[in-house]
Amino acid sequence: MKEEYVIGVDLGGTKILTALADLEGAILERSRVLVGEVKDKDTILGKIKETINQVTANAGIDLEQVVGIGLGCPGPLDIEEGLIHHTPNLDLDNVNIKDELSGLDTPIYLENDANAAALGEQMFGAGQGADDMIYITVSTGIGGGIIIDGEIYHGVSDGAGEIGHHTLDPASAIKCGCGNYGCWEALASGTALSRLAQDAVEADADTMMKDMVTDSSEVDGAIVARAAEKNDGVALDLMDTIAERLGIGLASLINIFNPSRIVFGGGVSNSWSLLEEKINETIAERAMESLVERVEIIPAKLGSDVGVAGAIATALAQVKNK
Amino acid sequence: MKEEYVIGVDLGGTKILTALADLEGAILERSRVLVGEVKDKDTILGKIKETINQVTANAGIDLEQVVGIGLGCPGPLDIEEGLIHHTPNLDLDNVNIKDELSGLDTPIYLENDANAAALGEQMFGAGQGADDMIYITVSTGIGGGIIIDGEIYHGVSDGAGEIGHHTLDPASAIKCGCGNYGCWEALASGTALSRLAQDAVEADADTMMKDMVTDSSEVDGAIVARAAEKNDGVALDLMDTIAERLGIGLASLINIFNPSRIVFGGGVSNSWSLLEEKINETIAERAMESLVERVEIIPAKLGSDVGVAGAIATALAQVKNK
C-alpha cells in the first residue's frame, strides 16, 4: 500500500498557506500564495488548488495518496455541510467549499480558523495531553477554541467559542465589531492596547513611545511591548491594564469550564513575560482556588505555523475518527 | 426477571428528598425527612438509609431490584470517587459517600446538585430534546449545569459550570461569597434583587413594598415580584435591572456556548413573565444574531421536584450507559 498523507490549508484574508504532512503530522512540503487584490471565488479556489498541486508535486506523490484535506477559514461556517456563510476579506460568502473542491476526490474537512488553531496546539503544541482545554488567541481581536474530551466543541450551529465576545464591562462605551459594548475583545485585545497607547501619546504622556513613531496612529501593541521591555512606565502600566482585563476574562472561563489548560496564542502572547504576573494575580483574586490549582496557563508554541498546523490537525482528527 | 428501579436522593441543607422511580423515570414512591439540628455524618447517613428503606418498603420491592442510586449534593465533589470535598450546611466534608453506602450493595452515583438539576430538566422537563443545553438556576445564588452532547460537562476536576461566578462587572464593589467582586451571582441573583429592594425601601422610595413589610430586612424577591405584578413602579424598575443583568450574562453564555436551549430555573424563574422581555431585549443587543436565532430560552418545568428528579436522572444516565 502506498503511503498516506493529509494536507492542511490555512485560508487567510491576505495569504493562503498550504502544507502536506504525513499521518503523524510532520510537515513535508509547504506552499504559500498571496491572495492579492482579486478575491472572487474562482480566483481563490484556483489558488487553493494551485498550492495543493504544488505540495503534492514537490513531494512526488499522487493526490490519491492524500486521505484528507483540512481547511481552516474564518467563520461563520456550517462545518458538516462545508458551507462558508461569511468570511471577512474574501468573496466566499455562501460558497460550499466541499462541493467546489469535490473534483479533488479527497475528503475536505472545513473548520473555523480559531478552532483549527486550538486543535493544532492540542495535537502538536502547548496543548498536548490536555483533553479539556481552552485556546485563546489575542491579536487584533480575541478568538478561541474550546476542546472538550479531546474534540472541538462546536455548539448547535458551529458558532461556539466566541469567548472574545463575552461582556467584560457592561458599562463600557466602547463598541465591539460584533455590535455589543464592552466585549472582552473590545477591551483586552491588541487593538484595545494600541488604542490605549495612542490615547496616552496624544495626551502627551511621559513615555518613550512618543519618540518611537512619527504619528500617534502608528503606535501598536508591538511598540508598547518594546517600550515596556525598556521599562517605560506608561507602557508598563498599559501592559498591566491589558493583563488585568485578560485575567478577569480568563478567571471567568476557569470558573465556567474548569479546564486543565489554557493555551494563550496570538500576537499579544509574544509579550507573555510582560503579562504573566498580572494575569495570574488577577486570576488568583477572581477565580475559585480549587479550579485555579488545576489549570495551567501557558503561551502557545506553534507561532505563525498555528494556522496550517491547525488545518492539518483538523484533517488528521477526522481521518483518525474513521 | 424482576422489575428494575432506580432511586434518587436530593441531599439538601435542610431536608432529604428521596424517590423511587421506574427505568422510565416515573416516580412511584417518595420520602422526605428534615435534616434538623444534628448534621453529623452518621445521623445524615442514617436518614438517607431510612428514606431509601421507606420508598422500597412502600413499593413492596427488594433493594436488590434497585439498579442505581443517584445522589445530588452541593459541591465541590469528586464524582468518580464518590467523595464530598465540602458541602455547606451538612457535616459531610471529606466523606466518601460511595464507601459509606456500600452496604446497600447498589451502585451509588454522586452528582453536583446543579448538574443533577440540569440533567433532570433535560431528561424530564424543559430541556427535553436539547443536547447542547445550559441550565441556570437563579435563587439565593446563581448555579448552572452545562450539557454537551447529552451529557453533563464536568471539567477536569468536577468543578465546571460555575456560571454564576463569571465576572459581570469588574468595577463592582459587591463581594461575592466566592471571594470575587462583581460576580454574576452577586449582581443578578435573588439575593441581589432583595438587596436592591431593601435599599429602595430604606431610602424611602415611593413604593408599596414599604407597606408590605414591618422591617426593610423582610423585603425579598417574592415581595418585589408581588409589588411588580401590581404595577409598582419601583418594583418594576428593580425587576428590569435584574433582568438586564441576567440578560448580559446569558448573552455571554450564548456567545461562548452556542447552545440550542437555555433552561431558566430557581426561585427567580417564578417571575419569568416579569423578566422575559428585558432579558430577551438585552440578549438581542449583546449576543450575536446568528447564535440568538438558534437558542430557545425557556423557564424550567420541574419546580421543587427538580432536585429529586435530577438525582433520578443521574442514576438513569449511568444505568443506561452500562
A294 with B157: Cβ contact below 8 A: yes
pTM surpassing 0.90? Answer: yes
Q: What is the rounded average pLDDT of the residues A40-64?
A: 96
Distance CA B242, CA A68 (A): 50
Q: Which residues of B touch A171 (CB under 8 A)?
A: 169, 171
What percent of chain A clears pLDDT 70, i.e. is strictly above it?
Answer: 100
- Can you give the pLDDT at residue A11? 95
Q: How far is CA A127 from CA A120, A136, A152, A258, A263, in A?
A: 8, 11, 13, 15, 6
Q: What is the rounded average pLDDT of the residues B89-114?
A: 95
- For residues B93 and B83, the answer to whether their CB atoms sit within 8 Å is no
Per-residue pLDDT tens over the stretch A236-273: 999 999 999 999 999 999 999 999 999 999 999 999 99
Q: Which of A115, A256, A290, A297 to mutate to test the interface with B (most CBs of B within 10 A)?
A: A256
B290 with A157: Cβ contact below 8 A: yes
CA distance B128 to chain A (A): 15
Please name the residue of chain A whose CA is at the shortest distance from the CA of residue B253. A166
- Can you give the pLDDT at residue A320? 84
B258 with A294: Cβ contact below 8 A: no
- For residues B78 and B85, the answer to whether their CB atoms sit within 8 Å is yes
A157 with B85: Cβ contact below 8 A: no
Distance CA A167, CA B171 (A): 13
Per-residue pLDDT tens over the stretch B246-300: 999 999 999 999 999 999 999 999 999 999 999 999 999 999 999 999 999 999 9
Complete DSSP assignment for B223-238: HHHHHHHTT-HHHHHH
**ipTM higher than the 0.85 cut:** yes
Ordered structural domains, chain B, with CATH? 5-120+305-321 (3.30.420.40), 130-299 (3.30.420.40)
- Can you give the pLDDT at residue B75? 84
B169 with A166: Cβ contact below 8 A: no
What percent of chain A clears pLDDT 90, i.e. is strictly above it?
Answer: 94
Task: List the single residue in B166, B257, B286 with the smallest CB-CB distance to A155.
Answer: B257
Task: List the single residue in A154, A166, A258 with the smallest CB-CB distance to B157.
Answer: A258
Per-residue pLDDT tens over the stretch B123-167: 999 999 999 999 999 999 999 999 999 999 999 999 999 999 999
Q: Which residues of A touch B145 (CB under 8 A)?
A: none
The answer, yes or no, to whether residue A322 has pLDDT greater than 80, is no
Q: Which residues of A touch B287 (CB under 8 A)?
A: 165, 180
Per-residue pLDDT tens over the stretch B165-194: 999 999 999 999 999 999 999 999 999 999
Per-residue pLDDT tens over the stretch A135-148: 999 999 999 999 99
DSSP 8-state symbol, B77: E
A258 with B166: Cβ contact below 8 A: no
CA distance B73 to chain A (A): 18
Distance CA A251, CA B168 (A): 12
| Strand-pair category, A5-11 with A15-22 | antiparallel
Q: Which residues of B touch A294 (CB under 8 A)?
A: 156-157, 159
- Can you give the pLDDT at residue B321? 79
The answer, yes or no, to whether residue A75 has pLDDT greater than 90, is no
- For residues B109 and B125, the answer to whether their CB atoms sit within 8 Å is no
B258 with A170: Cβ contact below 8 A: no
Give the side-chain half-sphere CA count within 13 A for B113. 24
B167 with A258: Cβ contact below 8 A: no
Confidence category of residue B89, pLDDT binned at 50, 70, 90 = confident
Confidence category of residue A160, pLDDT binned at 50, 70, 90 = very high
- Can you give the pLDDT at residue B2? 84
Distance CA A225, CA A274 (A): 8
- Please, which residues bridge with residue B216 across strands? none
Query: Whats the size of chain B, residue-wise?
Result: 322
Q: Which residue do the cell numbers 422581555 mark?
A: B277
Average per-residue pLDDT for chain A: 96
| Strand-pair category, A261-265 with A296-299 | parallel
